[in-house]
């Protein structure tokens, strides 16, 4: 009889058939694993390096339209025969609209346009070069530095926002989880030497927004439960909050994954690495919102007093949720 009473009391107003998942039971081993993964990612980025794309290293891009669907390998071979090495050909929505990207050449942009117009012609398939852009190495390096600054500024603003809206412990945990997500993506790209360009950077920024949104939803439910549930330990309240938001998190993550997988399969070369970075980020962001952001705040002593406005005893609500 006593065990039944204790079991019911741990529901804290929840229906008896809604089990609370003990997420924080493995918070310590998960935290150790996160630290090791983060260190490994930093090591890979520092010593293996990112395979920076032409957006950051400098190079040339040209948009080409063919009358008929074109063979990308045939275009690359034609460019190589003309002396244009390491060219990459991507589709722009169809096999007739293509984007050619290559390292910087010792040719003026004006001459390059005329040269490409001749080189990319295929037998029985007329090509029209619409646009030729050239990015110098110095410009690419400046773009790389500004991109890093944009990410740092975004993280700082998010730290301020979460601190104002919720609590500093949760804010620091959220920023740590975002750092983790970024480093995991960069670490995997460094390990596999996948190209890192502006599309991947856009995916990193999108993952930051996705992960932060997940953190805000969890933090809001934690704050609500600390205010309305009495008699439960901080760990129990956190587990209840994570359990209550689990369905929403799964639905959001699966919906996003469906879209990203569709982009990966149907989007062609131009969206491949964006989609890959997003897939990595979705899994990393879902994990980090639980075992980094929330676990850190709990480790730092998150409790009910962090969310309750102190009032005089005679005005304090004495109603407890069983």
Helix (H) or strand (E) holding 46: none
What mean pLDDT do residues 89-113 have? 75
| Those residues with Cβ within 8 angstroms of residue 15's Cβ, 6 or more apart along the chain or in another chain | none
| Under 8 Å between Cβ of 23 and 290 | yes
How much is the pTM?
Answer: 0.78
pLDDT, tens digit, 9 for 90 and up, residues 195-214 = 888 889 889 989 988 998 89
- What's the CA gap between 158 and 181, in Å, rounded? 15
> What is residue 2's predicted lDDT score, i.e. its pLDDT?
39
pLDDT tens track for 244-261: 999 888 999 999 999 999
pLDDT for the residue 8: 41
pLDDT bucket at 315, cuts 50 / 70 / 90: very low
The Cα–Cα gap between 240 and 20 comes to 6
Task: Give the per-residue pLDDT at 5.
Answer: 37
Does residue 126 sit in helix, strand or coil? Answer: coil
Mean pLDDT of the chain: 82
Superfamily of domain 18-52+139-306, CATH level 4: Multidrug efflux transporter AcrB transmembrane domain (1.20.1640.10)
For 59-135, CATH gives 3.30.70.3400
- Extents of the domains making up the chain: 18-52+139-306, 59-135
Report which of 88, 89, 83 is spatially closest to residue 105, judged by C-alpha positions: 83
Q: Which of the 8 DSSP states describes residue 86?
A: S
């Amino acid at each position: 009889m006593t065990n039944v009473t204790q079991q019911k009391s741990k529901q804290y107003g929840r229906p008896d058939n809604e089990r609370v998942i003990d997420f924080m039971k493995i918070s310590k081993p998960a935290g150790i694993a996160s630290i090791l993964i983060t260190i490994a990612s930093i090591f890979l980025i520092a010593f293996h390096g990112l395979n920076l794309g032409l957006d950051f290293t400098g190079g040339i891009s040209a948009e080409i339209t063919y009358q008929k669907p074109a063979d990308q390998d045939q275009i690359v071979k034609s460019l190589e025969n003309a002396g244009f090495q390491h060219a990459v050909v991507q589709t722009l929505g169809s096999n007739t609209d293509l984007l050619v990207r290559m390292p910087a050449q010792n040719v003026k942009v004006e001459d390059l346009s005329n040269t490409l117009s001749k080189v990319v012609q295929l037998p029985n398939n007329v090509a029209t070069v619409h646009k030729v852009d050239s990015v110098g190495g110095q410009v690419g390096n400046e773009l790389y530095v500004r991109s890093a600054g944009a990410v740092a500024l975004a993280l700082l603003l998010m730290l301020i926002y979460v601190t104002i809206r919720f609590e500093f412990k949760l804010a620091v945990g959220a920023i740590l989880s975002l750092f983790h997500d970024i480093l995991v993506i960069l670490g995997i790209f460094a390990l596999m030497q996948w190209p890192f360009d502006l599309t991947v950077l856009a995916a990193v920024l999108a993952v930051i927004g996705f992960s932060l949104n997940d953190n805000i939803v969890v933090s809001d439910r934690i704050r609500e439960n600390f205010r309305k549930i009495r008699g439960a330990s901080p760990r129990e309240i956190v587990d209840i909050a994570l359990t209550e938001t689990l369905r929403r998190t799964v639905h959001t993550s699966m919906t996003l994954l469906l879209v990203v997988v569709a982009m990966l399969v149907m989007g062609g070369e131009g969206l491949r690495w964006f989609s890959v970075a997003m897939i990595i980020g979705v899994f990393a962001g879902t994990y980090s919102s639980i075992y980094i952001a929330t676990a850190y705040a709990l480790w730092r002593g998150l409790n009910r007093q962090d969310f309750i406005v102190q009032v005089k005893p005679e005005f304090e609500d004495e109603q407890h949720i069983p």
